[in-house]
């Protein structure tokens, strides 16, 4: 079965537990220039449409997106790693992943051997500011960060960094989009599930019993 269909069906199972009171449209925010957004957006749009809710998605720098969804200026986040609700306490995690994300190392030196997060600290490295998993894993190294994917890949091309850490899709597509010929994906550091979040102002429409018809997601 198609991955998007499976994921959409899982989300439909969750969203069908909404009470009768529900909005006609939700404004969701997410990180700009992250190509992985398209997958999650498609899953969410399909699932929400089946219960009569449209979604609008706006793109911002990662931290601004989180501030908007946590403050209630938007209705939620398209996707984030699990656990951000401990810091962003106004966000509610919908407890089933919308997709799985490969976090990879990119470099102009294809001979580098980097197989762990800790090894990243041995290099002049960077990642996108506000990407929670990267901040959790790499924050102790006090690395320079960039605002978005295009800035990140451009600074690698300009030899400001030896390596960058970003998602597989975002790295590959930004290389292709910019026409760079000498940047390579050299390793995968992690594969993590991403979850949809709603602001707590929508707590009244989320079934607190969290009745989820769990369906295996096979990749």
CA 147 – CA 32 distance, rounded (Å): 9
Residue 51 confidence (pLDDT): 78
* CATH topology identical between 3-98+194-205 and 101-192: yes
Which of these, 58, 85, 51, lies nearest to 74 by C-alpha position? 58
Residue 207 confidence (pLDDT): 58
Q: Which residues contact 185 (CB under 8 A, 6 or more apart)?
A: 104, 105, 106, 168, 171, 172
- Residues of the chain scoring pLDDT < 70: 1-21, 205-219
Residue 147 confidence (pLDDT): 92
Taking the domain 3-98+194-205, which CATH number applies? 3.40.190.10
HSE, side-chain direction, 13 A CA sphere, residue 101: 27
User: Radius of gyration of the chain from Cα atoms?
Assistant: 18
Handedness of CA 180, 183, 187, 189 (dihedral sign): negative
DSSP for 53-117 reads -EEEEEEE-HHHHHHHHHHTSSSEEEEE-TTGGGTSTTEEEEEEEEEEEEEEEEES-TT----SH
CA 171 – CA 190 distance, rounded (Å): 14
Taking the domain 101-192, which CATH number applies? 3.40.190.10
Residue 203 confidence (pLDDT): 82
Residue 35 confidence (pLDDT): 85
CA 158 – CA 178 distance, rounded (Å): 13
Q: pTM value? A: 0.80
Which of these, 43, 71, 74, 54, lies nearest to 196 by C-alpha position? 43
Domain residues of the chain, as ranges? 3-98+194-205, 101-192
CA 158 – CA 150 distance, rounded (Å): 12
The DSSP letter of residue 2 is -
Residue 86 confidence (pLDDT): 93
CA 126 – CA 138 distance, rounded (Å): 9
Handedness of CA 88, 89, 92, 93 (dihedral sign): positive
The distance from CA 155 to its chain's CA centroid, rounded to whole angstroms, is: 22
DSSP for 153-168 reads HHHHHTTS-SEEEEEH
Burial class (CB in 10 A: 0-12, 13-18, 19+), 87: exposed
């Amino acid at each position: 079965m198609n991955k998007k269909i499976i994921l959409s069906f899982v989300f439909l199972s969750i969203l069908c537990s909404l009470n009768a009171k529900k909005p006609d449209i939700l404004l969701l925010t997410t990180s700009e220039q992250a190509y992985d957004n398209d997958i999650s957006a498609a899953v969410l749009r399909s699932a929400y449409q089946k219960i009569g809710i449209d979604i609008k998605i706006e793109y911002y720098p990662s931290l601004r997106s989180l501030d908007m969804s946590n403050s209630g200026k938007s209705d939620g986040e398209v996707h984030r790693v699990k656990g951000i609700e401990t810091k962003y306490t106004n966000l509610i995690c919908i407890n089933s992943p919308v997709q799985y994300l490969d976090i990879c190392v990119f470099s102009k030196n294809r001979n580098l051997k980097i197989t762990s997060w800790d090894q990243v600290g041995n290099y002049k490295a960077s990642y996108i500011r506000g990407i929670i998993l990267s901040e959790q894993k790499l924050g102790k190294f006090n690395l320079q960060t960039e605002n978005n994917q295009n800035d990140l890949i451009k600074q690698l091309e300009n030899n400001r960094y030896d390596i960058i850490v970003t998602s597989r899709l975002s790295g590959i597509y930004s290389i292709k989009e910019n026409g760079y010929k000498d940047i390579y994906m050299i390793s995968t550091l992690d594969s993590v599930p991403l979850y949809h979040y709603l602001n707590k102002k929508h707590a009244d429409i989320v079934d607190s019993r969290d009745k989820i018809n769990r369906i295996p997601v096979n990749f």
